[in-house]
Structure 1
Amino acid sequence: MTRRRWLFGALALTVLVPAAARADEPARERLEGEKLDPLLAEIANARKSLKSLRANFTQERKMVLLATSVKSTGQLAFVAPDRLRWELFAPDDVIYWVGPEGLSYRTRSSKATLPSAGANVAKGLADLRALLGGDLGTLRERYVLVGSKGPNDVEIVGTAKDPTAAVRGFTLVLDKSLVVPVRARLLEGKTDTVDIAFSNATPNAPIDPKIMRP
């Protein structure tokens, strides 16, 4: 696995197979094509007031061929419109920053920046911004989107149009505010997944600008 692919997999709050429905939950209408437009517009309208977002998360990466599962904990900070800080706590001890200048990371022993001028990097950054606080409709350029809405949450599932894409699909679940992320899943390659569960999410939380840059 290349470092670039690992970076986007770790960050992507983003991506996969529909989450299993609860047994006691009523059937949810599948929304696609034009039927999905009103829901995407609702989310975009709700996010207009989002200036920042802070949340804790747990992350589990499953690599089927290696029969390995890696669990991590961390915290994200997002400042609209285009800055994200994604920190994995010990023992990972790594911080990622996403901004207009590119994607940067720092570990205990190294640091680097991947410039946003690269085509793959630019696409990844745009997708991350859209998933966390932007216009989800922009993802239609590279993904086929399907949604559903329940009494307490909404779910957006994306399947990559390019079957060779590093991220083959994603699932994002938002609470009924349409702003707070609940969980996400990424599908990498044919079998590997990253499952992320968010907690203590606080929209428009005060965030020190200094921590948003490497």
Structure 2
Amino acid sequence: MKRLRHIMILTAIFISICNTPLVHGAEKSVESYTELTASELDAFIERMTVNLQSVKNLKSEFIQERHLSMFLDVLSAKGSLYFETQDKLRWELKEPYSSILIFNGGYIAKFNLENGKYVRMNLGMEDMFRESLRQILSIMRWDFKKVREDYKITILKGGDYNLVMRPVSTGMARIIKSLVLSIDPKSNYITKIIINEPHGDYIEIRFSGQEENRSFNQHLFDINNPLTQHHSESTLNKSK
């Protein structure tokens, strides 16, 4: 179960929401928002799907914070996200350690920096990783047909939109209580995600510096020899 929890938390990313010390505060903060009706929810998802059709890829910086009820200190990491709508995703941690997770056309690879070189790791439970990453890509494309089979979705409207996803299956609910995505109404970007766990721990991911429809070097998504952190930025503007 510990291994499964690690996989689901890692791959629930992007998405994948509030500045409070406890998860219960995070969920209470959305109560001041107005919940959309079923018809309003469908209209919102359809509108977002249309608005995002022109987005072919996206790059974003992120800060990821792990809040554990047994510790006062917050475990923080920084990195970059690269996404293409054709089933390509790169989740790269840069601080305090370096690792790269790549999903490309159904294939998955994870690399850790060891002795100055990126070494490909043995993932284990690859099918679970693959399904979780497919769900994430569906969310990023606003393809909610499959997502709504696995999660109960509500949307709350306030200064921004909070999309709350709660697992349907009891097995998944033992691992993840809810995912809450904060969506900017002007840019349509996901600006923040909180992954709530059943016993009060949570992960908060904040996104910034989003850039869309850039010309990515396709070696960013190479599952055998991906671009390193040094080269990924210098080759970002090169043509495919």
TM-score with structure 2 length normalisation? 0.75
**One-letter amino acid of the counterpart of residue 183, structure 1:** K
1:120-131 paired onto structure 2 within 5 Å: 120-131=128-139
Task: Pick closer, same or farther for the CA change 1:13–1:138 going to 2, 3 Å.
Answer: same
Count of equivalent residues: 208
**One-letter amino acid of the counterpart of residue 211, structure 1:** L
Q: In 2, Cα distance between the equivalents of 1:188 and 1:213?
A: 32
Q: Extract unaligned runs of 5+ from structure 1.
A: none
Q: In 2, Cα distance between the equivalents of 1:67 and 1:49?
A: 43
CA contact (8 A) 2:178 2:196 kept: yes
1:94-173 paired onto structure 2 within 5 Å: 94-109=99-114, 110-112=119-121, 114=123, 118=127, 120-150=128-158, 153-165=160-172, 166-173=175-182
User: Which of 1 and 2 has greater Rg?
Assistant: 2
Equivalent in the alignment of 2:20: none
Q: CA deviation at 1:103?
A: 2.9
Equivalent in the alignment of 1:73: 78
CA contact (8 A) 1:19 1:171 kept: no
Q: CA deviation at 1:97?
A: 0.8
Residue identity over aligned pairs, in percent, reads 20
Partner SS state of residue 64, structure 1: coil
Q: CA deviation at 1:88?
A: 0.8
CA contact (8 A) 1:43 1:178 kept: no
Q: Which moved more, 1:54-63 or 1:31-40?
A: 31-40
Q: Which moved more, 1:172-181 or 1:78-87?
A: 172-181
Which of 171, 183, 207 is matched with 1:174 structurally? 183
Equivalent in the alignment of 1:9: 9
User: Which one has more relative contact order, counting CA pairs under 8 Å at least 6 apart?
Assistant: 1
Q: In 1, Cα distance between the equivalents of 2:40 and 2:46?
A: 11
Equivalent in the alignment of 1:196: 205
Task: Identify, as 1 or 2, the structure richer in strand.
Answer: 1
Q: In 2, Cα distance between the equivalents of 1:182 and 1:19?
A: 19
Q: In 2, Cα distance between the equivalents of 1:130 and 1:102?
A: 16
Task: Pick closer, same or farther for the CA change 1:135–1:194 going to 2, 3 Å.
Answer: same
Partner SS state of residue 34, structure 2: coil
Which of 85, 88, 97 is matched with 2:90 structurally? 85
CA contact (8 A) 1:180 1:203 kept: no
Q: In 2, Cα distance between the equivalents of 1:145 and 1:21?
A: 14
Task: Pick closer, same or farther for the CA change 1:41–1:208 going to 2, 3 Å.
Answer: same
Q: Answer yes or no: is 1:62 the counterpart of 2:84.
A: no
CA offset digits 1:86-129 (Å, max 9, x no partner): 111132211111233333211124423658972x3343122210
CA offset digits 1:15-65 (Å, max 9, x no partner): 67548369xxxx642025343111111111112111000010111012224
CA contact (8 A) 1:13 1:185 kept: no
Q: Which moved more, 1:122-131 or 1:59-68?
A: 59-68
TM-score with structure 1 length normalisation? 0.83
Q: CA deviation at 1:176?
A: 1.8
Partner SS state of residue 14, structure 2: coil
CA offset digits 1:144-199 (Å, max 9, x no partner): 10002345x32210011123313331011121246322111112343221101111
Q: Which moved more, 1:165-174 or 1:62-71?
A: 62-71
Task: Identify, as 1 or 2, the structure richer in helix.
Answer: 2
Task: Pick closer, same or farther for the CA change 1:172–1:187 going to 2, 3 Å.
Answer: same
CA RMSD of aligned residues (A): 2.8
